[in-house]
């Protein structure tokens, strides 16, 4: 494994009965990098993260943490990892500060150090106003905050976060995103999320899986070269519906989304599109206001890579999008 890798998964595979939830997935998390782990519901993200942490044992494959092959007895490397599960749960009778101090006890024997760190984490994750309450009855977002604080108690070198912003209000989400950004460089992070905008904003690398298989693994800056098509925007003064209907049948059109008087068109052949879209506008006698291309967003890459050849079960969910 490369010297700067904090985590390496090789051929990780997990089966549940007939279902292969994770299918020979390999990837590396390098020191100081923030990896966005994305994929549709049921893709195998949570299962993969649990194998990384040793909470599930793989049917095939190996995990190396900090250069050492993972072993359930190896508590020393586990102590260097902070983890927030998708649904964090806590001893319900404890108050947050008490809980954080309890967790801190695993990392330090010095009570003052533990107390100080726990208080800092209370402040960092906006838990002070909950200080007097028992965890029992905490809302989903409040539990998520406590989960983050708990994961940071041991000053981890690797943070594994399974949908850390789910259930958070916009401010909470902003705070967690900002916190992850601040963590960059201090620790490596692997973060599963469905919020592709956030991934585009803060991640260094993108790992994408679908139905257990890895389909993309690249620095965010290189994602453009993985695109299946370009997106062009054409805007006309009126008659956008007629134009959309005419373009929908063209062989190089992969998808069309109307946006007011404009159409966003994902195309497989940019040259043909560049010739034929203005020609169609002219044929209908429409007034062209705008015609431009831009690199695809991560969301577009995600949709084009995960749409593929999936069977009936997904089509029903797409509400006529396909
Ligand atoms: N303990 C289990 N027993 C049987 N099937 C399971 C088990 N855990 C997960 N699965 C199945 O494995 C697949 C992958 O699940 P996983 O939770 O890893 O997906 P995910 O990518 O985290 O999805 P989401 O985005 O919805 O959180 C799913 O089809 C799921 O139903
Ligand atoms: Mg999950």
**Whether the CB of 43 sits within 6 Å of ligand 1:** yes
Structural domain contains residue 304: no
CATH number, position 245? 3.30.70.100
In the chain, the number of structural domains is: 2
Instruction: Quote the pLDDT of residue 1.
Output: 56
β-pairing verdict for 288-294 and 230-236 = antiparallel
Residue 254's domain comprises 228-294
State the CATH number of the domain containing residue 199: 3.40.50.300
pLDDT digits (tens, 9 = 90+) for 215-262: 889 898 887 655 556 788 999 999 999 999 999 989 999 888 888 999
Domain boundary among 174, 198, 225: 225
Specify the 3-state DSSP secondary structure of 129: helix
Q: pLDDT under 50 in the chain at which residues?
A: 309-322
pLDDT of residue 321: 34
Query: Which contiguous run of DSSP H or E holds residue 39?
Result: none
In-domain check, residue 277: yes
pLDDT of residue 175: 84
Residue 41 Cβ inside 6 Å of ligand 1? The answer reads yes
Q: How many CB atoms within 10 Å of residue 69?
A: 13
Same domain, 111 and 252: no
The pLDDT of residue 319 is 33
Q: 129 with 13: CB under 8 angstroms? A: no
Residues with a beta carbon under 5 angstroms from ion ligand 2: 45-46, 86
Mark which of 225, 258, 285 sits at the end of a domain. Answer: 225
Nearest listed ligand to the Cα of residue 86: 2
Indicate if 213 and 235 belong to the same structural domain: no
Residue 256 per-residue DSSP state:
E
pTM: 0.80
């Amino acid at each position: 494994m490369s010297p700067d890798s904090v985590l390496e998964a090789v051929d990780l595979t997990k089966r549940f009965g007939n279902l292969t939830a994770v299918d020979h997935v390999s990837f590396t998390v390098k020191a100081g990098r923030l990896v966005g782990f994305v994929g549709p519901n049921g893709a195998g993200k949570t299962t993969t993260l649990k194998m990384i942490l040793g909470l599930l044992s793989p049917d095939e494959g190996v995990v190396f943490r900090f250069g050492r092959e993972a072993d359930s007895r190896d508590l020393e490397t586990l102590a260097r990892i902070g983890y927030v599960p998708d649904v964090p749960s806590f001893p319900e009778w404890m108050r947050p500060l008490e809980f954080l101090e309890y967790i801190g006890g695993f990392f330090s024997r010095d009570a003052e150090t533990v107390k100080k760190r726990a208080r800092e984490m209370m402040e960092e994750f906006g838990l002070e106003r909950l200080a007097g309450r028992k965890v029992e009855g905490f809302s989903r977002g409040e539990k998520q905050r406590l989960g983050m604080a708990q994961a940071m108690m041991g000053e981890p070198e690797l943070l594994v976060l399974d949908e850390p912003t789910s259930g958070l209000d916009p401010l909470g989400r902003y705070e967690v995103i900002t916190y992850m950004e601040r963590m960059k460089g201090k620790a490596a992070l692997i973060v599963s999320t469905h919020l592709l905008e956030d991934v585009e904003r803060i991640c260094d690398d993108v790992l994408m899986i679908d139905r257990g298989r890895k389909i993309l693994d690249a620095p965010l800056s290189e994602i453009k070269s993985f695109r299946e098509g370009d997106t062009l925007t054409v805007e006309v003064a009126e008659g956008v519906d007629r134009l959309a209907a005419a373009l929908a049948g063209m062989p190089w059109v992969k998808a069309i989304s109307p946006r007011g008087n404009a159409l966003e068109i994902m195309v497989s052949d940019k040259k043909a599109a560049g010739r034929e879209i203005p020609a169609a506008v002219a044929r209908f006698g429409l007034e062209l206001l705008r015609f431009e291309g831009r690199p695809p967003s991560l969301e577009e890459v995600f949709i084009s890579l995960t749409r593929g050849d999936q069977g009936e079960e997904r089509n029903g969910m797409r509400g006529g999008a396909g």
